[in-house]
């Protein structure tokens, strides 16, 4: 115990090192052996080690807390702004959806002011989506999330452009509504609205003129709206829709469906309005000679002209509507009329003078219509009538079929005329039925006037909601040459020429084929013919291209009667100017009835018309039989030049009225085909032969690169 420290020399708490030095304070009785530490040193050293061991975990925990805090703050800095941006974009999307829903309701009610406001609200919301999504930062660059974000931005831009276009159109609709109101007020009537139930016949003459005036002044805005739709569609096409999430793709589908429909509507509306406004007699009234061409008896520029009508359009209002049998125009002047007809009409139809009924001999409707108009005016003058008509509109039966399909059946004298039966009933009435009813020969076609008046009445009674259907029907009729227009008014003719509505012959670009039939004393047999045309071009040597055109016609008539008989046609084929005729098979000197039941070969006429070389021949097909007429010819250097540039183009116009012709094209080229329009089936790719098939309801064009 002697060496044991007491409580005076060994404190209960170990002393800490001096804050001003590295060594412990040594007591005065410190041992003289430095190698052996004192008790104080041992205890202090031990306690100091304990303190270090206890303090180290605490510092680790503090560091982790700080690190976690920094991570949280960093993530907040990174995530909170994008989250806010996405939230704002989502809110803007909800606003857009609400506005679009309200817009649809306003449009249905015809409330154009409110519809315009909702359109502007939806457009602003879509623009907000695009703006807000700019705030997602680097997430736009991530492979998957970025695609969705960028796509939503692109869609919002497309939507904004579309709504901007709609806003332009709503301003036009608003102006039209105001025009109706002012027109009605001018004649002391209650304001006429432009709601979906409004009919054309409900509008006054002033209403119609005001509408046309407004449409004319609004054409620049409508064209601008069309251009914006074009831009929106181009932007939409650039969006990577195949990489979208299914829910997002589903949301975007209405946009995908809407834009092409809107584009088609605008493509149809703009050219229609540009031409139809002056055609409708605004600002100046227009008098028309309306010719009904019966394509069951095909003629070069359409069908046989059996009936004509006079009609005046004044600001969209129809007046002076009169129908005539064409023979009531031709017959009274037959003794003094001396126009010399084309040779095929003399030889195969037996006519000695060229009357209005046969005047559409050129397949170029502009040329035929000018001759029809000239004959009409001069024949009328010989009868002491003064006519001021300067324009012609030709209508084919296909147009009336589509109209009746749209407006529904029409009742005339207890008979129902619909889109399927009207031609059969009509031809029976004007050929047979009128005799049974005791109707005079010169009045036999009065039923046409009644039929036309009833169709016109039904069209005018159509609600505004059906006007787009009528617009589409008329557009298709122009495209398919069921309606053609000619005018001596140069400005108006220029308009219809630019739209392709005049039936004018097309120029030759490379290769060209145009088959033109002329029914000569075959009654209404074209309505029973099944027609197919095959064109084969051997161009493996581009310097010596040789073509073969084969017409295969089947006469499905089972017996000869008042309406149907053997098929008799003088057929012309228009080919590139400079083509050299090689041979013809199937040409006939006359039908079998004329040649004693024996086939007698006929000659081939070679002519130049409309900037083309023309081969013409007569042929005939007995009931129940199939006939072939073929022409072989060498194409001119102009086609060789086209082929030498590794490009080939074939233009094949439709003959007006020839609605049911099938065409087959085969082109043998010197090298493997690179591309073609229309395309071949994939099974036929990879060779130097191009094959295509189409109907001739409209002009066709074939392009091949190799």
**Tokens 């159509």 correspond to what residue?**
462
Residue 317, CA distances (Å) to 209, 279, 321, 366, 524 in order: 8, 11, 11, 26, 35
Using the predicted structure, report yes or no on whether residue 388 has a pLDDT greater than 60.
yes
Look up residue 435 and give its two tokens: 């005799």
- Start-to-end C-alpha separation, the chain: 118
Pairing of strands 529-538, 661-668: parallel
pLDDT > 90: percent of the chain = 50
**Across the chain, what does the average pLDDT equal?**
82
| Half-sphere exposure (Cβ direction) of 15: Cα atoms closer than 13 Å | 15
Using the predicted structure, report yes or no on whether residue 586 has a pLDDT greater than 80.
yes
**Nearby residues of 228 by Cβ (< 8 Å), 6 or more positions away:** 161, 162, 164, 165, 168
Using the predicted structure, report yes or no on whether residue 463 has a pLDDT greater than 90.
no
C-beta separation of 263 from 230 below 8 A: yes
C-beta separation of 439 from 235 below 8 A: no
Q: What is the mean pLDDT of residues 296-313?
A: 95
Greater pLDDT, 571 or 44: 571
**Nearby residues of 207 by Cβ (< 8 Å), 6 or more positions away:** 179, 180, 183, 184, 192
Can you give the pLDDT at residue 20?
Answer: 45
Using the predicted structure, report yes or no on whether residue 301 has a pLDDT greater than 70.
yes
Position 269 confidence tier, pLDDT thresholds 50, 70, 90: confident
Using the predicted structure, report yes or no on whether residue 27 has a pLDDT greater than 50.
no
Residue 512, CA distances (Å) to 428, 501, 576, 677, 703 in order: 39, 20, 6, 16, 12
- Alpha helices, DSSP H only, in 467-518? 467-479, 490-499
Can you give the pLDDT at residue 98?
Answer: 79
Edge-to-edge strand ranges of the sheet holding 612-621: 514-516, 567-576, 612-621, 605-609
Tens of pLDDT, residues 187-240 = 344 444 455 556 777 788 888 888 888 888 888 887 887 787 777 777 767 666
Among residues 627, 629, 628, 620, the alpha carbon closest in space to that of 560 is found at 620
* H or E element at residue 618: strand 612-621
Greater pLDDT, 449 or 346: 346
Domains of the chain: 74-279 (no CATH), 286-499 (3.40.630), 511-705 (2.60.40)
C-beta separation of 249 from 152 below 8 A: no
C-beta separation of 184 from 192 below 8 A: yes
Most confident of 183-197, 402-416, 581-595: 581-595
Whether the ω angle into residue 317 lies within 30 degrees of 0, i.e. cis, is no
Can you give the pLDDT at residue 4?
Answer: 44
Look up residue 114 and give its two tokens: 């409110």
Give 330's DSSP letter.
H
Whether the ω angle into residue 312 lies within 30 degrees of 0, i.e. cis, is no
Edge-to-edge strand ranges of the sheet holding 689-695: 580-585, 626-634, 546-555, 529-538, 661-668, 689-695
Among residues 266, 259, 264, the alpha carbon closest in space to that of 239 is found at 259
- Positions of E strands within 315-454: 317-325, 391-395, 410-412, 415-417
C-beta separation of 343 from 458 below 8 A: no
Using the predicted structure, report yes or no on whether residue 589 has a pLDDT greater than 90.
yes
Q: What is the mean pLDDT of residues 368-373?
A: 98
Position 17 confidence tier, pLDDT thresholds 50, 70, 90: very low
Can you give the pLDDT at residue 73?
Answer: 58
Using the predicted structure, report yes or no on whether residue 654 has a pLDDT greater than 50.
yes
**Nearby residues of 529 by Cβ (< 8 Å), 6 or more positions away:** 553, 554, 555, 556, 567, 660
**Nearby residues of 377 by Cβ (< 8 Å), 6 or more positions away:** 387, 389
Residues 173-177: contacts with CB under 8 Å, at least 24 apart: 173/112, 174/112, 174/113, 174/116, 175/214, 175/217, 175/218, 176/211, 176/214, 176/215, 176/218, 177/110, 177/112
**CB atoms inside a 10 Å sphere around CB 202:** 15
Can you give the pLDDT at residue 413?
Answer: 85
Position 567 confidence tier, pLDDT thresholds 50, 70, 90: very high
Tens of pLDDT, residues 617-652 = 999 999 999 999 999 999 999 999 999 999 999 999
Greater pLDDT, 484 or 189: 484
Using the predicted structure, report yes or no on whether residue 475 has a pLDDT greater than 70.
yes
Most confident of 58-72, 274-288, 527-541: 527-541
Residue 552 main-chain phi, psi, to 5 deg: -120, 110
* H or E element at residue 216: helix 205-237
Can you give the pLDDT at residue 296?
Answer: 96
Residue 290, CA distances (Å) to 392, 399, 455 in order: 6, 14, 15
Reduce the DSSP state of residue 617 to 3 states and report it.
strand
Using the predicted structure, report yes or no on whether residue 336 has a pLDDT greater than 70.
yes
Position 532 confidence tier, pLDDT thresholds 50, 70, 90: very high
Tens of pLDDT, residues 142-186 = 565 666 666 666 677 777 767 776 777 777 666 666 655 554 444
Greater pLDDT, 392 or 441: 392
Can you give the pLDDT at residue 36?
Answer: 47
Q: What is the mean pLDDT of residues 67-84?
A: 59
Tens of pLDDT, residues 421-456 = 989 999 999 999 888 888 888 888 888 888 888 888
Can you give the pLDDT at residue 274?
Answer: 85
Reduce the DSSP state of residue 501 to 3 states and report it.
coil
Among residues 312, 233, 227, 219, the alpha carbon closest in space to that of 271 is found at 219
Most confident of 104-108, 466-470, 512-516: 512-516
């Amino acid at each position: 115990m002697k060496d044991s420290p007491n409580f005076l020399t060994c404190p209960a708490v170990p002393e800490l090192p001096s804050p001003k030095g590295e060594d412990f304070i040594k007591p005065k009785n410190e041992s003289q052996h430095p190698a052996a530490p004192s008790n104080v040193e041992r205890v202090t050293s031990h306690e100091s080690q304990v303190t270090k061991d206890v303090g180290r975990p605490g510092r680790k925990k503090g560091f982790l807390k700080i690190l976690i805090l920094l991570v949280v703050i960093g993530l907040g800095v990174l995530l909170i702004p994008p989250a806010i941006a996405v939230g704002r974009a989502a809110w803007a999307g909800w606003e857009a959806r609400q506005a679009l829903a309200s817009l649809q309701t306003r449009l249905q009610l015809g409330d154009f002011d409110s519809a315009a406001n909702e359109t502007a609200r939806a457009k602003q919301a879509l623009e907000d989506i695009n703006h807000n999504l700019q705030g997602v930062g680097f997430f736009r660059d991530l492979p998957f999330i970025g695609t969705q974000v960028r796509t939503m931005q692109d869609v919002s831009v497309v939507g904004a452009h579309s709504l901007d276009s709609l806003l332009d159109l709503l301003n036009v609709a608003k102006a039209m509504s105001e025009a109706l109101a002012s027109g009605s007020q001018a004649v002391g009537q209650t304001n006429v609205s432009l709601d979906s139930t409004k009919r054309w016949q409900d509008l006054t003459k002033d209403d119609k003129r005001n509408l046309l005036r407004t449409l004319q002044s609004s054409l620049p805005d409508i064209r601008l709206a069309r251009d914006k739709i074009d831009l929106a569609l181009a932007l939409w096409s650039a969006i990577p829709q195949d990489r979208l999430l299914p829910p997002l793709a589903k949301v975007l589908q209405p946009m995908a469906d809407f834009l092409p429909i809107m584009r088609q509507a605008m493509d149809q509306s703009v050219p229609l309005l540009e031409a139809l406004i002056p055609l409708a007699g605004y600002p100046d009234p227009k008098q028309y000679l309306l010719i009904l061409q019966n394509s069951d008896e095909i003629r070069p520029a359409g069908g046989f002209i059996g009936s004509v009508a006079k009609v005046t359009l004044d600001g969209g209002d129809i007046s002076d509507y009169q129908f005539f049998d064409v023979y009531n125009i031709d017959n009274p002047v037959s003794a003094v009329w001396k126009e010399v007809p084309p040779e095929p009409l003399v030889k195969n139809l037996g006519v000695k003078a060229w009357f209005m009924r046969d005047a559409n001999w050129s397949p170029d409707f502009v040329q035929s219509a000018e001759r029809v108009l000239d004959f009409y005016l001069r024949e009328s003058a010989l009868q002491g009538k003064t006519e001021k008509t300067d324009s012609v509109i030709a209508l084919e039966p296909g147009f009336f079929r589509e109209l009746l399909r749209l407006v529904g059946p029409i009742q005339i004298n207890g008979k129902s005329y619909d889109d399927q039966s009207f031609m059969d009933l009509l031809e029976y009435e004007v050929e047979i039925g009128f005799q049974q009813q005791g109707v005079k020969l010169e009045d036999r076609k009065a039923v046409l006037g009644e039929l036309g008046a009833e169709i016109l009445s039904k069209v005018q009674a159509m609600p505004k909601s059906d006007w787009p259907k009528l617009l589409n029907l008329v557009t298709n009729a122009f495209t398919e040459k069921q309606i053609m227009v000619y005018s001596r008014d140069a400005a108006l003719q220029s308009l219809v020429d630019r739209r392709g509505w005049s039936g004018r012959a097309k120029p030759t670009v490379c290769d060209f084929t145009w088959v033109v039939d002329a029914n000569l004393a075959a009654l209404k047999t074209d309505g029973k013919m099944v027609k197919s045309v095959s064109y084969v071009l051997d161009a493996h040597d581009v310097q010596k291209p040789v073509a073969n055109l084969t017409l295969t016609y089947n006469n499905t008539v089972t017996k000869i009667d008042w309406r149907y008989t053997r098929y008799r046609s003088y057929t012309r084929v228009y080919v590139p100017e400079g083509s050299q005729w090689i041979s013809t098979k199937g040409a006939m000197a006359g039908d079998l009835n004329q040649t004693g039941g024996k086939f007698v070969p006929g000659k081939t006429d070679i002519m130049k018309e409309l900037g083309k070389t023309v081969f013409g021949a007569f042929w005939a097909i007995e009931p129940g039989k199939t006939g072939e007429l073929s022409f072989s010819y060498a194409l001119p250097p102009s086609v060789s030049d086209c082929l030498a540039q590794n490009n080939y183009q074939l233009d094949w116009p439709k003959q007006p009225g020839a609605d049911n012709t099938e065409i087959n094209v085969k082109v043998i080229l010197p090298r493997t085909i690179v591309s073609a329009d229309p395309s071949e089936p994939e099974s036929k790719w990879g060779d130097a032969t191009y094959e295509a098939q189409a109907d001739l309801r409209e002009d066709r064009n074939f392009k091949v690169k190799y």
